[in-house]
Structure 1
Amino acid sequence: MLVVAALGGNALLRRGEPLTADAQRANIKVAAQSLADIVRAGHRLVITHGNGPQVGLLALQGAAYKPDEAYPLDVLGAETEGMIGYIIEQELENALGHDRPVATLLTQVLVDKDDPAFNAPTKFVGPVYDKEEAETRADAAGWQIAQDGDKWRRVVPSPKPLDIPDMRVIQLLLDQNVVLICAGGGGIPVLRRDDGSMIGVEAVIDKDAVSALLAQKLGANALLLLTDVDAIYRDFGKETAEPIHTLTIAEADTLDLPAGSMGPKLAAAGHFAESGGISGIGKLEDALAILQHTAGTSVVR
């Protein structure tokens, strides 16, 4: 099977953990062992990943420069693709005993300049703050902020992915049996000009939406959306909460899930399932078990 596995940003950097290289490497090492199980089971593998905490941190670091010297979000997104991809690549090579090629590809993703998301930012990036500190930082930096659980974070535009211009390169690498890490952080958001050339734009695309698009374009057999929660729950957060093991697309549409948590994952899973593939949502450590339908939540047509 060809499997696209999307690693959630919170699975790579747990909520409340410091944004340090050591903390991220420790989590990625755990992720690599789980992903290696998929490869050792005989499946071909493409890996995507989130970058919300990391791209927000780079933006904060950029605030130390003069406003006209700070790098835009598309460039910061490319930096996080390289940074996170490097650690995933290295730890996965170690987990596989260096017996097959692993590569990271910086990936451009096409969006529409008229996408309404540019006027209504929803994508969380960077660290969490209490409300007072978030408001102070927002006033100073011109951010927009929103509540994330019991904390507050910066939000940025998250336009819909339309196409992946680098598909030819991705396919070439897969044809050579490379374990590929691509479209990290939702890919690098780009616009196509009237003359056909492309240029980056200030945004962070939803990683799950891009992963579903990528899986569909590749004709993948399965899409795994891996996070730090073991399944989708009915009545999450209540005493009556219970995990849902299988959902049809129609049933998924009736669930009321927060836009900043499982909502995008379920939407992406449903989108891919419509094409006839297998979609699974669950804990990163359970990746192979989710693929085998013995853990997590399966979304089916």
Structure 2
Amino acid sequence: MVAFGGNALWPDPGYPGSQEERADRFSEALFRLLQEGEGAALVHGNGPQVGMILLRIEATRDRFPPESLDVMVAETQGSIGYLLARSLRSALARRGRVQEVAAAVTQVAVDPGDPAFSRPTKPVGPCYPDDQAREIRERCGWPLMKTPRGWRRLVASPRPLQVVEMHTIADAVSHGHILIAGGGGGVPVVQEEDGSWRGVEAVVDKDLTAALMACSLKARMLAILTDVPAVFLRFGRPDQEALPRLSTAAARRLLEEREFPPGSMGPKVEAAVRYAEAMGHKALITDVEHLAGALEGRDGTWVER
């Protein structure tokens, strides 16, 4: 089971060539994790891509109706899934390997009563200057957060309860296929009393969705690829310290002490802890460049029970 962020792969999403090159690099790195013929599930982030869609919607709002956030997530699952599936198939062909690769639009059930809906904390989309932020707040009613680069929209980030298409994903992986699923944490949906489903305006954390899927699949390992080589204490300070190994007990204590930012490394550590405690296997947190070294025990952070 592999999870990786949109920023880690595509920090400049406006340039398609760059996206393709980074997808190719990721595909090559992935084969350090996969045994030949082994099935796998991949969960990708979509932050920059959703930001692009929001910019496009804002630029064309006088001509076209806006999309809801759940539809934006589904849209990015299709575009990113296509790029990755194509790149992975090419990497397989270069190795003379025959293996099915597919991308699936994936829904994730959340609780409509989740406290996150009354306390939006997840920033999405571009940064707006003060005057535009005031106009957007009046027109759309969005909660906004001030950042050093401007104002950003805040949305709810409820916890994932169930991957709706989990049986299909598990069946594909058990047959040795590579499935790109749960992109952006999955399209957030809630189930009504009559059994019907509806999308909600929210963003589910992709790493928590990846941990949920990894446990359902009984995956032998969860690898979380981000844009830093390891988990650090005092990150960004002159005395920052990389953690090559982290017990789940120590990780929980550090999470309670808010050592890891809730919007970045915090969910990754929490996801690794959930998987390691539930499955008894190790979880790895590193970046693409240090993946080979991490698998040899030289880089990255291994989280274990």
TM-score (norm 2): 0.88
Residue in 1 that maps onto 2:238: 239
Cα displacement string for residues 166-190 of structure 1 (whole angstroms, at most 9, x for unaligned residues): 1111122113211111000001111
Contact 2:275 2:281 in 1 (8 A): yes
Q: Distance in 2 between matches of 1:138 and 1:237?
A: 33
**Of residues 5, 10, 23 in structure 2, which corresponds to 1:8?**
5
Gaps of 5+ in 1: none
Q: 1:61 to 1:185 in 2, by over 3 A?
A: same
Residue in 1 that maps onto 2:47: 52
Partner SS, residue 11 of structure 1: helix
Q: Distance in 1 between matches of 2:217 and 2:6?
A: 23
2:2 counterpart letter in structure 1: A
Q: Distance in 2 between matches of 1:221 and 1:147?
A: 41
Cα displacement string for residues 167-225 of structure 1 (whole angstroms, at most 9, x for unaligned residues): 11112211321111100000111110101121111111100110000001111111111
Q: 1:254 to 1:151 in 2, by over 3 A?
A: farther
1:277 counterpart letter in structure 2: H
Residue in 1 that maps onto 2:285: 281
Cα displacement string for residues 231-284 of structure 1 (whole angstroms, at most 9, x for unaligned residues): 011121111112100001121123211111101111111111111121111112
Residue in 2 that maps onto 1:297: 301
Residue in 2 that maps onto 1:196: 195
- For residue 13 of structure 1, report the CA deviation from its aligned partner: 1.9
**Of residues 81, 85, 88 in structure 2, which corresponds to 1:89?**
85
Partner SS, residue 171 of structure 2: helix
Q: Distance in 2 between matches of 1:135 and 1:264?
A: 31
Q: Distance in 1 between matches of 2:46 and 2:66?
A: 18
Contact 1:246 1:298 in 2 (8 A): yes
1:82 counterpart letter in structure 2: G
Contact 2:55 2:126 in 1 (8 A): no
> Greater shift after overlay, 248-257 or 120-129?
120-129
Q: Distance in 1 between matches of 2:118 and 2:250?
A: 31
Q: Distance in 1 between matches of 2:14 and 2:296?
A: 33
Q: Distance in 1 between matches of 2:202 and 2:181?
A: 18
Percent identity of paired positions between Structure 1 and Structure 2: 40
Q: 1:144 to 1:56 in 2, by over 3 A?
A: farther
Aligned: 1:76 with 2:72: yes
Q: Distance in 2 between matches of 1:70 and 1:122?
A: 22
Aligned: 1:258 with 2:261: yes
> Greater shift after overlay, 248-257 or 126-135?
126-135
> Greater shift after overlay, 277-286 or 149-158?
149-158
Q: Distance in 1 between matches of 2:148 and 2:271?
A: 22
Q: Distance in 2 between matches of 1:182 and 1:234?
A: 31
Q: 1:151 to 1:42 in 2, by over 3 A?
A: farther
Cα displacement string for residues 46-77 of structure 1 (whole angstroms, at most 9, x for unaligned residues): 11000112112212322323599211111111
Contact 1:146 1:154 in 2 (8 A): yes
Gaps of 5+ in 2: none
Q: How many residues align?
A: 296
Q: Distance in 2 between matches of 1:296 and 1:119?
A: 36
Q: Distance in 1 between matches of 2:146 and 2:288?
A: 25
Cα displacement string for residues 11-31 of structure 1 (whole angstroms, at most 9, x for unaligned residues): 1222xx353323322222211
- For residue 287 of structure 1, report the CA deviation from its aligned partner: 3.2
Cα displacement string for residues 95-115 of structure 1 (whole angstroms, at most 9, x for unaligned residues): 221632111111110001111
Q: Distance in 2 between matches of 1:161 and 1:130?
A: 33
Q: Distance in 2 between matches of 1:19 and 1:185?
A: 18
Q: Within 5 Å, which residues of 2 pair with 1:1-301? A: 4-14=1-11, 17-39=12-34, 43-63=38-58, 64-65=60-61, 69-97=65-93, 99-128=98-127, 138=137, 141-146=140-145, 152-255=151-254, 256-275=259-278, 276-301=280-305
